[in-house]
Chains A and B, each alone.
Chain A
């Protein structure tokens, strides 16, 4: 081997090693949680309400609460985010108004989550009189999720070749038909990725739900969207720091459940993505 080849080998090894380093933390985190929490996971733990001031029983209401929040968040943020992205990419002219919208989207993603929480509390809970409820919490999380969904959808739409639009329009299709048949189908995988990414984050957030929906201890299921619920991240915070003498394994088991839930969501998105990729025939 000559010098250049050896240098290239060294460079590859270093790059490979560094990339591997990225994988290490996530494996460690998961391993640590599984080792400490798996023992406390049982059918009762997953399907029963907490008892004895959360020292015993399960976390079922918190699981239901988090799922309800994720669904609620998706219902608000997905249509709003995707339709905004369609407007920005396909319709908006490049003027001050569009630039202002784009700037707002960027800035929205820079706002700390506790500020969203405070905003949600004053705007949805107090001003709109939604009370601390699933609705208020979902709306707060939805606003927080919007920037990621919009940005991901925008990039997905922009990555669809311009020629598809040109072909469609040249055959006499309307602008909306073109978007519907020749752009959106090929942007869906990218849109899904962004949506699930932001929903996973929403599922794990504590600050935005702190004042808007999360219940400290509510060992029953919600009756409507106007009810408070327990949620996994907040429950985890509570049992880990606020209530004394709770076995640490319960915290880890709760964390494990939350991670498993998020992984499940990612799995669904991977399957959906594969399904839509197949539609694009290369």
Chain B
């Protein structure tokens, strides 16, 4: 990779209580790439993702050592609010707030102090368009967000994240609760977002990783086993454990 990494972790170790969940993770993520992260349950994928925007700290026993750099800058120098504004996240299950469609997307603007009504309206529209949801909801913005289907809700969550203007978007198994058609729509949205955002996709679905990502990382029991171009990782894995996992020979 030639360009400066957007995110770089250096000797990242993560703990819940005394248990080490991630061990010495060193990853560099380039601008505008989609990095897939695969691995079995309890391999630390989600912990890695949530370490990047410090959501892990919502658990009181959590601690981490090592460095996480955003644009070459140690993220410990950023406040939680600013860091999470720059690194947005989409959760596994579509999680909408019990307010209208419009208010869901506008929420991030409200907390970051955008009060101009016209700016808010325009930003919400743009975000919904980029998340491929605008056409479906433009006439029902004042309806409760919970009335949307699961796939629409997940794209609403993407729009909500886009509205605050992030640099990086994290996806934590974003399609685990969705049908194939909704999944395809979310994946389309991700492809379109590549031009402006760096995206990291944690997924249990190896096929999805191979469809969407350019590079892919394989996590196992808290370790980064292998990382490389997705095509290579799936065809000529360097590590036997990767090979075992992607060919389904895993214990």
Query: Interface residues, chain A, CB within 8 Å of chain B?
Result: 93-94, 163-174, 177, 181-182, 186, 280-282
A93 and B88 within 8 A (CB):
no
Contact status A170-B107, CB under 8 Å: no
Which of B13-21, B28-36, B89-97, B114-122 makes up part of the contact surface?
Answer: B89-97
Q: Max chain A CB contacts within 10 Å: which of B97, B107, B160?
A: B97
Decide if B144 touches A282 in the complex (CB within 8 Å). yes
* Apart from A163-B95, A170-B89, 18 more pairs, CB < 8 Å: A163-B91, A166-B55, A166-B58, A166-B91, A167-B91, A167-B96, A169-B55, A169-B84, A171-B111, A171-B161, A172-B81, A172-B85, A172-B111, A172-B112, A172-B164, A173-B108, A186-B98, A280-B98
| 30 A-B contacts (beta carbon < 8 Å) | A164-B98, A166-B91, A167-B91, A167-B95, A167-B96, A167-B97, A168-B111, A169-B55, A169-B58, A169-B80, A170-B89, A171-B84, A171-B85, A171-B88, A171-B107, A171-B108, A171-B160, A172-B80, A172-B81, A172-B83, A172-B111, A172-B112, A172-B164, A173-B81, A174-B81, A174-B111, A280-B98, A281-B98, A281-B100, A281-B144
User: B84, B98, B144: which contacts A172 (Cβ < 8 A)?
Assistant: B84
Docked-complex contact B84 and A177, CB < 8 angstroms? no
What B residues does A171 contact at CB under 8 A?
84-85, 88, 107-108, 111, 160-161, 164
| Chain B, range 103-147, C-beta contacts under 8 Å to A | 107-108, 110-112, 144-146
Contact A182-B97, Cβ < 8 Å, known A170-B88, A170-B89, A281-B145:
yes
> What's the nearest-Cβ distance from chain B to residue A107, in Å?
26
* CB <8 Å contact, B110 and A170: no
Give B41-88 interface residues, CB cut-off 8 Å to A: 53, 55, 58, 60, 80-85, 88
Residue of A nearest to B93 (CB): A163
Q: Closest approach, in angstroms, between the C-beta of A135 and any C-beta of chain B?
A: 40
Please report the total number of B residues contacting A with Cβ < 8 Å. 30
Nearest CB on B from A181, distance (A) = 7
Residues of B within 8 A of A94 (CB): 60
Give A282's nearest chain B residue, CB to CB: B146
- Residue B10 at the chain A interface, CB threshold 8 Å: no
Q: Across chains A and B, which 5 residue pairs bring their CB atoms closest together, nearest first?
A: A281-B144, A172-B85, A173-B111, A172-B84, A171-B108
Residue numbers of B with Cβ under 8 A of A are 53, 55, 58, 60, 80-85, 88-89, 91, 95-100, 107-108, 110-112, 144-146, 160-161, 164
Give the shortest distance, in Å, between A147 (CB) and chain B (any CB).
26
CB distance from A7 to the nearest CB of B (A): 40
Q: Whole-angstrom distance between the alpha carbons of A174 and B80 in the complex?
A: 8
Residue of A nearest to B99 (CB): A281
CB distance from A155 to the nearest CB of B (A): 19
Least distance between A182 CB and chain B CB atoms (Å) = 7
- Cα(A99)–Cα(B11), bound, Å: 38
Closest partner residue, chain B, to A175 (CB atom): B80
Q: Shortest Cβ distance from A279 into chain B, in angstroms?
A: 8
- Which residues of chain A are near B58, meaning CB under 8 Å? 165-166, 169
What is the bound-complex CA distance between A90 and B111, given in angstroms?
18
Residues of chain B contacted by A170 (CB below 8 angstroms): 53, 55, 84, 88-89, 91
Could you tell me the distance in whole angstroms from the C-beta of A161 to the nearest C-beta in chain B? 9
Task: Tell me the complex Cα distance, A280–B55, Å.
Answer: 25
What chain A residues lie within 8 Å of B84 (beta carbons)? 169-172
* Residue of A94, A163, A167, A177 most packed against chain B (CB within 10 A): A167
